[in-house]
Amino acid sequence: MAGIQTSSGEYIDSSWELRVYVEEFGEEADPVTLRVTGDTHIGGVMLQLVEKIGMSKDWSDHALWWKQKRQWLLKTNWTLDKYGVLADALLHFMPQHKPVILSLPNQCSLRIRVCFSSTTFSACAEVCKALGIRHPEELSFLKAPDEQEKKKKKEKDPVTQEIFDFTSFQHSSATTGQVFLGGIPSHFTASPEGQQCYRALSISRTGLTPEDIQKRYKPTSITNKTPVHGRWLNSSKSLMQQGVQEGDRLWLQFKYYTFHDLDPKMDAVRINLLFEQARWAVLLEETECTEEEMMTFGALQYHVNKLSVVSDPMHMAQDPALKDLDEALSHLEVKLEASTQSEALEGIDIEPELQEYLRVLRPRKMTLKGYKQNWVMLKGTNVSCYKSKEESRGEPLIMLALKGCEVTPEVNVASQKFCIKLLVPSPEGMNEVYLRCENEQQYSRWMAGCRLAAKGRTMSDSSYEGEVQSILSFLNLQKSNQHTSASDADSINMLALVSPRYQKKLKLKQLSPRILEAYQNIAQISLVEAKMRFIYDWQSLPDFGVSYFLVRFKGARRDEILGIASNRLIRIDLNVGDVVKTWMYSNMKQWNVNWDIRQVSIEFTENINVAFTCVSAPCKVVHEYIGGYIFMSTRAKDGGSKGLNEELFHKLTGGHEAL
C-alpha cells in the first residue's frame, strides 16, 4: 500500500514505514520495509511482505512476532492500530513451528517441531498427539537445568544418548491426524525411521548401572525437592514468550499425578514413559519406600529389563478374545475339510493329556497327613486324581475343574521343591490342592498345562510348548542366579535396581537372592503388566504425588513447606518435617492470586483463610497446580471424553498475571 506523495517526495497521507525482519534472511540481514497505515490488517501486512520478498515458498506456517512486546500477532483480521503497532515496532516474520530437543523420562531425546506461538498447554498437547500419548493434560514442559545449576547440585552429565529425529516424518502425521493401527499411530509404521523412533519411546532402557544412578542429582531433604518446580513453563503463555529458542532442550514429564484411563492396548508409549518417571522417582528416593518395597520394585525392574531385550513393540499382542475366535474358526475349517476323510476326523478327536504319578496333598483342618502318591490325569481343563494307574478307569478320588482357578508356583530350585498350588472355587468354598513334581521337566509340563486350563484352554493350544519353555527358562535363570556376581556380563546388574542407599547397605550376595525371591511372584506376567504393576505400587506409597514448594505463610516468621497433592494441600514444618495442617480441595470455596505482591490466598469452609507467598517458584506455578488438579477431577464425570478442555483449564489455572 503506497501513500500519496508530493513533488518533493513527502507523503501527505497517514501511511508510515514498517520494518519487518525475515528469519530466512538471517540475523544480519536488513529488514524489509513496508508502507502501511494503522488500518492495515495483519493478514494484509503478511501478504504485502511475501509479495515483496518474491521467494517461492510455503509461508503458511509463518507469523509475525513483536519483539519489544514479546507478543505474537496471530489474529490476521486485526489491524495494526488494534494491536498498537507503531512505526518504531520491530516485527519478525518467522515460522511458528521450530525444532527443539525434547528429553523424555526414559532418557531418550527427540528432535521434534514444537509450536512456539500457541500456549504451552496446546504445544504440549500437539507433541503428545504426534507421539501417541493420550491425556496430554497430565504432562507439561520444563526448562532444562543450566550449567550453573548443575554445578551447584554437583550433577554429572549422563552418557550422551542418541537423538532421534522426529521432524523427518512429523509433517505427514500433523496433516493426516492420529490414526492407530493395532494401537500404534500410523505415522510410526510408515517408515523404518518411524519404527525405530517408536521402539525408543515404548521400550524401557536396559543396561542401567549404579554409576548412572549416582550421576543423577538425588535430593537429600524435602527442601531439595522444591527447586525443580520453578522450571515448569507457564501453561497459558507461548514458548517464545518464555524465552525458549530454536534448538533449546526441554523436558517432557508428567506434572499432575492423576493418571486417567490407562489402557495397555492404546497407551504403550504413555505407560512406558510413566514407568520410567516412576522408576527414577524410586531410585532417586524422591518417593520414599521401605526396604521390602524396594525389593519388589527391584524385581519388577528386573522383569521389565529381561522382557525389554527380546520384545518388539511393533508386533502387538493379539487380543485373547480374537485369538479364541481365530482358533475356533480354524478348528471348524479343519473339521469341514476333513468331513469326508475319516482318518483326518479321527485325528482331530485326539486330545493331548498328561498322566503320571505325582505326590498330592489336600490340606485339611485337624490333620497331619502329608503328600500321597497318586495317579494324576490332566485332560482338557480337568484334573483327576486316582489311587493308582490301575484304578484310573473308575471314579477319581479328586476331580477338579481348573477353568477360572488360581495356579500359584511354589518353587525352590536349590532344595528341589517343585510344587503347584491349585485354588479351585466351589459352592462349598475354595478347594486347595498341592501337586508336587519330581524334577524341572515334569514341573514345567504340568505347570504349563494347569495355567492354560485355568484360562479355559487345553494342551492342544499353540501356546503350550512356548509356556513350557518359558517355565524352564525361568528355572534355569533361578539356578544360574544363585551365584550372581556384578562381573557377570550376561546378567542384569542387581545394584542398578535399587537406590544408592541400599547399594551401600546391602552387598550383592545379599541383594540378589532377595530380588529373585520377590521376582518369583511376578515372573509370569507380561511386560506391560509389569510396568502397570510398578506404577500401581508407586501410587500406593504414602508420599506419592506430592509436589513440594518453599513458601512463607502470612504472619509467619520463617519459611515452611507446602505440599500439593491431587486432593489436598499440606503444611509441613521445615525443621522437623512433620505435617502441621492438611486442607482438602473439597472444602475449598475459592482461591486467588495478588500478582502485585505475589501472594496466593485460599478460602475454605468454616471461615478458614490461608495466604502465602512463594519462595522456591513463581506463584503462578502453585496457582496452576491447584487449578490443574481441580481440572483433573472433572474428567471422571464424563468418562474423560472432555478431558482436554483448554478453555476450562485456563480458567482454572490462568488468571491475569502481571507481566
Compute, in degrees rounded to 10, the torsion defined by CA atoms 339, 343, 344, 349.
90
Q: Which helix (H) or strand (E) holds 302?
A: helix 291-310
The residue among 477, 481, 479 whose CA lies nearest residue 469 is 477
pLDDT at 42 over 60: yes
pLDDT value at position 487?
Answer: 36
Exposed (0-12), middle (13-18) or buried (19+): which is 162, by Cβ within 10 Å?
exposed
pLDDT at 504 over 70: yes
Residues 340-348 have a mean pLDDT of 45
**Percent of the chain clearing pLDDT 90 (strictly above):** 52
Q: Tell me the three state secondary structure of residue 16.
A: strand
Residues 290-312 have a mean pLDDT of 91
Instruction: Find residue 232's DSSP bridge partners.
Output: 142
End-to-end CA distance of the chain: 35
Q: Tell me the backbone φ, ψ of residue 419, rounded to 5 degrees.
A: -115, 150
Side chain identity, residue 512: S
Pairwise CA distance, residues 643 & 634, whole Å = 8
**Cβ neighbours around 171 below 10 Å, total:** 12
The angle subtended at Cα 127 by Cα 126 and Cα 133, nearest 5°, is 100
Residues 375-391 have a mean pLDDT of 91
pLDDT at 581 over 80: yes
pLDDT value at position 295?
Answer: 95
Least confident of 86-90, 303-307, 655-659: 655-659
pLDDT at 366 over 60: no
pLDDT value at position 1?
Answer: 42
Instruction: Find residue 431's DSSP bridge partners.
Output: 424
Least confident of 379-383, 540-544, 654-658: 654-658
Would the pTM of this model clear 0.85, i.e. be above it? no
**Banded pLDDT at 78 (limits 50, 70, 90):** very high
Pairwise CA distance, residues 106 & 103, whole Å = 8
Pairwise CA distance, residues 576 & 625, whole Å = 25
pLDDT value at position 217?
Answer: 87
Per-residue pLDDT tens for 106-115?
888 999 999 9
Between 173 and 254, residue with greater pLDDT: 254
- Residues in contact with 344: Cβ distance below 8 Å, sequence separation at least 6, in sequence order: 334, 337, 338
Q: Tell me the backbone φ, ψ of residue 411, rounded to 5 degrees.
A: -125, 140
pLDDT at 505 over 80: yes
Least confident of 226-230, 338-342, 453-457, 495-499: 338-342
Per-residue pLDDT tens for 122-177?
999 999 999 999 999 999 999 998 866 666 666 655 544 678 899 877 754 444 44
The residue among 181, 187, 184, 141 whose CA lies nearest residue 168 is 187
Pairwise CA distance, residues 189 & 314, whole Å = 8
Instruction: Find residue 608's DSSP bridge partners.
Output: 604
Average pLDDT, the chain: 84
Pairwise CA distance, residues 295 & 88, whole Å = 65
Least confident of 11-15, 18-22, 340-344, 582-586: 340-344
Burial 395-425 (b: 16+ CB within 10 A, else e): ebeeebebeebebebebebeeeebbbbbebe
Q: Tell me the three state secondary structure of residue 248.
A: coil
pLDDT at 638 over 80: no
Joined grid coordinates for residue 129: 498427539
pLDDT value at position 180?
Answer: 57
pLDDT value at position 368?
Answer: 57
pLDDT value at position 250?
Answer: 96
**Banded pLDDT at 10 (limits 50, 70, 90):** low
Between 273 and 406, residue with greater pLDDT: 273
Between 83 and 642, residue with greater pLDDT: 83
Pairwise CA distance, residues 102 & 249, whole Å = 6
Pairwise CA distance, residues 165 & 250, whole Å = 15
Side chain identity, residue 231: R
Most confident by average pLDDT, 347-356, 400-409, 528-537: 528-537
| Contact assessment for residue 425 and residue 405, using Cβ atoms and an 8 Å cutoff | yes
Per-residue pLDDT tens for 433-443?
999 999 999 99
Most confident by average pLDDT, 421-425, 512-516, 535-539, 650-654: 535-539
Q: Tell me the three state secondary structure of residue 30.
A: coil
Q: Tell me the three state secondary structure of residue 284.
A: coil
